[in-house]
Amino acid sequence: MKFAFRVHFSQGNSGNPCYKPPKQKTTGRDMSSNPKLKDNLRAAILAEPDAVLDDKDLMQALVAANEQARGDNVIDLRGIAMQRLEERLDRLEDTHRSVIAAAYENLAGTNQVHRAILRLLEPTVFEDFLRALGNDVAEILRVDHITLVLETTVIRDDPAVNQLGGVLTVVEPGFIDGYLTPDRSGQPREVTLREIRQPNPQVYGEQADQLRSEACLKLDLGAGRLPGMIVMGARDPRHFSPQLGTDLLAFFAGVFERSMRHWLS
C-alpha cells in the first residue's frame, strides 16, 4: 500500500490563524513619537548653534536627556570626566575671582598709603604736621584714631602737647618695647597687628574704650635718639587682623620716621 504525502509551503506563515508576528525591538525612545521642534525654535538653533553650546544650563539639560534616553545600564565615562572638569573649572574661576579681588584691594590700599604720605609732606610747621597725622591721615587710611608715641627722659605737662588733640603722647624710656611685647618674649616687630581687649588710656586717651584692634608701627628716629611708635586704632576688632599683610604699613612707617628725623634735627 502506498501513502502519498503532500506538504504545503506558504510565505511567512501568514495563513496560520495562530501565527503572531514577532515584535520589533526598539532601543531608547521611539523617535517618531517625539514631538517635533517648532519651526521658529529649530531655525533659531540652526542660526546660532554656538549660543546653545555656550549655555551651561542648556547643555546640562541636553546631557541629562541623553542619559535618560540611554537608560540606567549605560555608564557614560566621558560624561563623568566632563563633569569633573567642569567642577575643576568652577573652582579655578572662583580662585581667579578671589585673586582679582585681592589685587584690587591691594591697589586701593597702596593708593591710600600714597595719599597719606603726600598729605604728610605738605605741612611746613611741626604742629601742622602732627595735626595732619591725627586728622587727615587717619581719615585717608580709614582708621578711628592715630597716636604718635615718643619716649623721653623728661616728662612734663606741656600745654602745647595738650592742644594737639591727643595725637602726641610722651612716655618714659622702655615703654614702647613693653607695649609691643607685654610678655617680654623676643624682639618687637616693626609692624604689629592685633586685637586689643583692654586699650591703654595712656596711648588712646578718651577714645580707649571704643577701640578693639590696633596697628603698632615702631619708629627708628636715628642714632642717639629714643624710639617712637605710631599706633592706629580701629573700632572693628578684625580691622587689624594678624593675618593681614604689613608691607604697606612698613613703607608708611619708613617714610614717617625719615620725616620725623628731619623735624627733630
Chain segment 12-50, per-residue pLDDT in tens: 454 555 555 555 544 444 444 445 667 888 888 888 888
Q: CB neighbours (10 Å) of residue 94?
A: 10
Q: Tell me, what's the pLDDT at 68?
A: 67
SS3 label, residue 92:
helix
Four-way CATH pick for 123-264: 3.30.450.40, 3.40.190.10, 3.40.50.300, 3.10.580.10 = 3.30.450.40
Kindly list the domain boundaries of the chain, sorted by start residue.
123-264
pLDDT band at 7 (very low <50, low <70, confident <90, very high): very low
Summarize pLDDT for 178-207 with one digit per residue, the tens: 999 987 777 889 999 999 988 999 999 888
Sign of CA dihedral 53, 55, 60, 62: negative
Q: How far apart are alpha carbons 232 and 113 in whole angstroms? A: 13
What are the φ and ψ backbone dihedral angles of 23, each rounded to 5 degrees?
A: -75, 140
The pTM is what?
Answer: 0.65
Q: Tell me, what's the pLDDT at 2?
A: 45
pLDDT over 70 (residue 218): yes
